[in-house]
Structure 1
């Protein structure tokens, strides 16, 4: 459409206010392959044309003024862009119905008008690129009001903003009676919370502001105290989020806390828009809100956006618990490093026997279904045993460590961490993974070889058949088989098992599983109090880990059977079991050093794929769950190389633990300090003594 055609349509008396806004946005909207500069040029052309055509300009302003006199802003301000109180499934069903059979739009409802005007895909993107000054100038040109009309509109809009603020504050205060919040903090019913205090403060502010609108001489309250209470509410939400990690969370609770945060942000935004003392801030915050509402309007009926947001909430309710456990899987000191090596070695020892049991099951000639059942039980129960004996399967670590890394990234996005600290964490994670795999692989391969060699010498026949020997070695060869693809499938199952662990740990906390088991009627009859306490505490602490290990084993066991039933090339390869297979195969025919090293390298290559796939998926989910991302990979890589250059050995072995600095002569001896006794040469009244204590 040309500019002249646009002006002609705007001059038409039959053109409605909605049509006017649609025509203007259609004119300035960037065409395909255009930049925002083209939009700014057309905005300037439209402003110049309206300025030159005074009749058209007055007709447009009058038309929009008449519409604005009846426009309703409440639903726009109090609902659009905030999570629904109806929950995910109710919301998604209504959105799907709206797409099939949309409700008629209310042309006096600004929420509906915004949706009708910004109705193209990508409108939310380009509107954010328009500079605030240009957008403000365009809106000022369209709404060229007379002073009386401007004052009437200001009072009407302010009144609706005040209504929205008061209603939002009531919702915030009412949320503390939700059962989920009462479970996390039962004391809210015994004391006045920040949520209730905020509602009372805002109610007084609204009444005072309304009086100020009616009488200019009336001095109304400022909103500074309300802003302080909003920060206190945010602190309370942060405490509830931290409490939910240990007390258990649900998708509904995470949704509730997110909605509370969004509502507080909206209240703060509206208060800033009403601030009479700072015109520049009012203008800036008004444009910010306008752009935010345009984006929310574009996503109003979008199922994909709703699904993505709720998937993030679901991920967070699982990932929060994983990050709480993640630090235990990152060795910092040499003592922790050697403990991880021993733990990995213990896991490798058990895996060697699990691989032996699997070999015997496969050589029994059972039917595929029965064989899969026994193999799955072998895997699942074996992994549970490894955990119960405090040993480690190296590839189970990424799901936990990724959540811890995501936590550091989230902190970094708010300036509380930096690339250097994150790089140091990655180095610690890398060497912890290395030593755990070293323990798994070295012991599994060595023990498997020893068992196979001893069996052959004692029985006079090899432990495995020739066909099984060829199958085992060919199965881990990266270019003679699909070993690396199968390793990637195992990596996916490792990632899934991490989610399972987070979910069930969270579920145990949410249900207060320990308390339930302590008071369970059957257990009270079977176990004395001391054993019941120990059993309840153990199950509560290890519930997620035990279930995830069993689920992981079952997934490994049934994958090959799924491939058999479907006729697709689907199977798994796991580094520890591949190492054990190499050991058993080599015990039949002991090759040269080169062949031995080559197949060991193949097993390690499988381990690399296991780790990369599981870690990448787990980190992606953890980052999405926290709504953050690694903003600068080049900066992080440079920091990582700097850390490595300073101490290359730290990639594989931790530096020496820092020695404690010697205490000054006037510092109390630790034993004396613990006993509450001052050192013999210092009196109690000495200021330095008090400081040292």
Structure 2
């Protein structure tokens, strides 16, 4: 029994790469077989095309073509060999062609043409469950659905690439194989030539092939037209819904509904169909041009809707509907291009490649997670970009202002440090101690917020979204120059903020301890606690790891701040407060408006600071209780703690190694707090713009050129005239 199980397991593993021989496949091809058997035969043929290995020597002379690339995909050689074998066996060729034609005729292609790659569920978990089920239970070949057949035939991620790059000679031979025999007769070709010549448009024009679909309607052309009709109806229905119409631009909002592009779209599609049925090529070209213009207007309208969403709050289901509508508009344009270029096999191949790729994405769990993360990133980034702009000093006046704000933050942090020592000295239970520490941090952060002070390490998570907004124009030289200038200004600002915090919190904490020792002859912490503090900050130990985790908490607080801002704007709380009857009677109309504006301006800052304080207090206690020991390592708080310890231990500590190892540890905190929080925020910002490494490399090269030419700009702002010159 064990031997039979082992044999079955070996056969199961071997079946993954097992492929039938081509001669055996072509010999059993039967155009009159049931649909499931014909589908299974075509799937086996696709597996043979994917097979790795050398072909027969007879295929070598025919495996190359004048327009073939030097390093063509191996699938091209196999397709060429397949056609070579079929040309040598006319009976096989006729049977295979009839089988493929019959299979395509009996399959429903609307799902593939309209729905492939389109999101189905607005909720992440619903879509995730559906895709996991699709991975575990692949479709059966007896389903009369072309999307299921494509899924089984082209599972590899490189399939769209080799399909789109098929040489023209192979495409022409494949088209001849699939075409009806009557379409290849001389009389039909003469009729096609006559109708095409009657078109007034020049053959080189984009719409010159309009007569082809009008003169020779085939099954694929009809499927494309049906899919176009379906897509335009869906686009029109979504565009005319209150969710979209209420978020159009001010100009479109004042236009009557019957004059909107979404309303005219279905009529334009019907006009295209009528012109095609009437066999009028000139009229067809005009109607297709009008349909393209309306689709372009609809796409611009979706941009207005997205702009409205990011200004006035983001709702997930609304973003889902508008995003799907935009994808349908793009798909309709692709199908229209393919329908108008019915006699261009390269255009048809590119469409098939796009459909295969879209079908793979619609079933990929990884793509679902990436796309949802990009959508979430866009939501957070857009809401945080305006806040982050205040934390970037672009000139000397703003730079000095940031130094003053950071100095004020350092003074407030000095009080926070001593309160923290008082809480830890009470020896409370870990969760209670974490709660009180969080309240201490939150109150100090709120004081900084309302006094317009600055905490250095909280800034990077808010400033990275501002850089992401400038990435929209990074494909041009002027946009890259603006982005590089913003990055340099950000680094300079962070250095000023850290310097201002540390240079004030350290002497302030040291001075408080020295004054207490001189007046009251007592230490605010014990010498043992001072030694333990210095040792806990040592660079040799877990300090860098704790500092990196603290950077993660700093970044997480920006997410909560963005969520609070979005909730406030989405639910129009500002308008509700400004027009509240009892508030207007109590404070007056102007007072209620000022209160509403105050809440709108401070909701993100207040909520973000409250969450950050509680995260810094409670997360270490929770993680230490359930996982591993974790302590907050914040550069400003730790610098103040070193000042307290130095005041307790005296000048003799200057000669000890533990002090300087602690100073090195604080330096690593400054780097890791800022770097980790900024890297996470910037990564989210890049994902929101769907930018990869290849898109970032030109920006990094421009940044390093700027730094090597003007390194002083990283620590002190240059004049605007010089900045303009170097951008040029």
The TM-score range, normalised by the shorter chain, is: 0.7 to 0.9
Corresponding residue to 1:40 among 76, 93, 101: 76
Identify the residue that residue 244 of structure 2 maps to in structure 1.
181
Deviation at 1:321, TM superposition (A): 1.1
Equivalent residues in 2 for 1:214-293 (5 A)? 215=279, 219-220=283-284, 221-275=286-340, 280=344, 283-293=345-355
Using the size of structure 2 for normalisation, the TM-score is: 0.82
Q: 1:63 aligns with which of 84, 99, 111?
A: 99
Deviation (angstroms), 1:551: 0.7
CA contact (8 A) 2:268 2:287 kept: no
Relative to structure 2, which stretch is displaced further, 587-596 or 354-363?
Answer: 587-596
> Aligned pair 1:84/2:120, yes or no?
yes
Q: 1:446 to 1:100 in 2, by over 3 A?
A: same
Is 1:409 paired with 2:465?
no
> What does residue 513 of structure 2 align with?
452
Counterpart in 1 of 2:195?
Answer: none
Q: 1:108 aligns with which of 134, 144, 149?
A: 144
User: Given the superposition, is the C-alpha separation of residues 294 and 133 from structure 1 closer, same or farther in structure 2, using an over 3 Å criterion?
Assistant: same
Task: Give unmatched runs, 5+ long, in structure 1.
Answer: 662-693
Equivalent-residue separation in structure 2 for 1:424 and 1:594 (angstroms): 43
Contact map agreement 1:452 1:584 (CA 8 A) in 2: yes
Could you list the per-position Cα deviations for residues 131-185 of structure 1 after superposition, in whole angstroms to 9, with x for gaps in the alignment?
4537625632541432348999843322332222222222222223444434434
Between 321-330 and 488-497, the greater mean CA deviation after superposition: 321-330
Q: How many residues in Structure 1 have an aligned counterpart in Structure 2?
A: 655
Distance 1:540 1:23, change over 3 A: same
CA contact (8 A) 2:538 2:662 kept: yes
1:93-142 per-residue CA deviation (whole Å, 9 max, x = no partner) reads: 44445556667666432222212222x34354654674453762563254
Q: Which moved more, 1:48-57 or 1:212-221?
A: 212-221
What is the distance in 2 between the residues matched to 1:578 and 1:353?
Answer: 13
- After TM superposition, where is structure 1 displaced by more than 6 Å over at least 4 residues in a row? 32-35, 149-153, 593-597
Q: How far is the alpha carbon of 1:575 from its aligned partner?
A: 0.8
Long gaps (5+) in structure 2: 1-19, 56-70, 189-212
Distance 1:510 1:160 in 2: 42
CA distance in 2, matches of 1:459, 1:169: 82
Pick closer, same or farther for the CA change 1:41–1:505 going to 2, 3 Å.
same
Q: Which residue is 1:433 aligned to? A: 494
CA shift in 2, pair 1:400/1:27, >3 Å: same
1:631 and 1:410 mapped to 2: Cα distance? 15
Per the alignment, residue 53 of structure 1 pairs with: 89
The 5-angstrom pairing of residues 642-661 of structure 1 reads 642-658=705-721
How far the C-alpha of 1:516 sits from its partner, in A, is 1.8
Partners of 1:33 and 1:587 lie apart in 2 by 79
Q: Provide Cα deviations, 1:331-387, integer angstroms capped at 9, x if missing partner.
A: 111111111111111111111111111111111232323222111100112112211
Alignment correspondent of 1:366 = 428
- Which residue is 2:404 aligned to? 342
Moved more, 593-602 or 505-514: 593-602
Distance 1:528 1:634, change over 3 A: closer
Question: Aligned equivalents of 2:368 and 2:460: distance in 1?
Answer: 29
* Cα distance in 1 between the residues matched to 2:622 and 2:489: 38
Could you say what secondary structure the match of 1:592 adopts? helix
Moved more, 241-250 or 26-35: 26-35
Change (3 A) 1:189 1:170: farther
- Equivalent residue in structure 2 for 1:22, among 39, 43, 46: 43
Map of 1:169-568 to 2, 5 A cutoff? 169-185=232-248, 190-192=254-256, 196-213=260-277, 215=279, 219-220=283-284, 221-275=286-340, 280=344, 283-413=345-475, 415=476, 417=478, 419-479=480-540, 481-520=541-580, 523-524=583-584, 527-566=587-626, 568=628
* Greater Cα shift, 579-588 or 308-317: 308-317
CA contact (8 A) 2:257 2:263 kept: no
Counterpart selection for 2:701 from 620, 630, 638: 638
Match of 1:5 in 2: 24
Give the whole-Å Cα distance in 2 for the aligned partners of 1:153 and 1:471: 87
Cα distance in structure 2, aligned partners of 1:428 and 1:654: 8
CA RMSD of the aligned region, Å? 3.2
Q: Secondary structure at the match of 2:452?
A: coil
Deviations 1:491-535 (A, max 9, x none): 101111111111211221111121122244664565444433222
Alpha-carbon displacement from aligned partner over 1:619-662 (angstroms, at most 9, x marks no partner): 1111112212342555434322321233221010001244999x
The aligned counterpart of 1:618 is 681
Instruction: Find the aligned partners of 1:60 and 1:153 in 2 and give their Cα distance.
Output: 23
Q: Is the 8 A contact 2:233 2:266 kept in 1?
A: no
Q: Tell me, in whole angstroms, the C-alpha distance in 2 between the residues paired with 1:427 and 1:217.
A: 58
Give the TM-score, by structure 1 length: 0.86
Distance 1:235 1:195, change over 3 A: farther
In structure 1, C-alpha distance between the alignment counterparts of 2:702 and 2:54, rounded to whole Å: 38
For the pair 1:607 / 2:670, whether they are aligned, the reply is yes
Name the CA shift for 1:264/1:41 in 2 (closer, same or farther; >3 Å).
same
CA 1:454 to 1:131, structure 2 compared with 1: closer, same or farther past 3 Å? farther
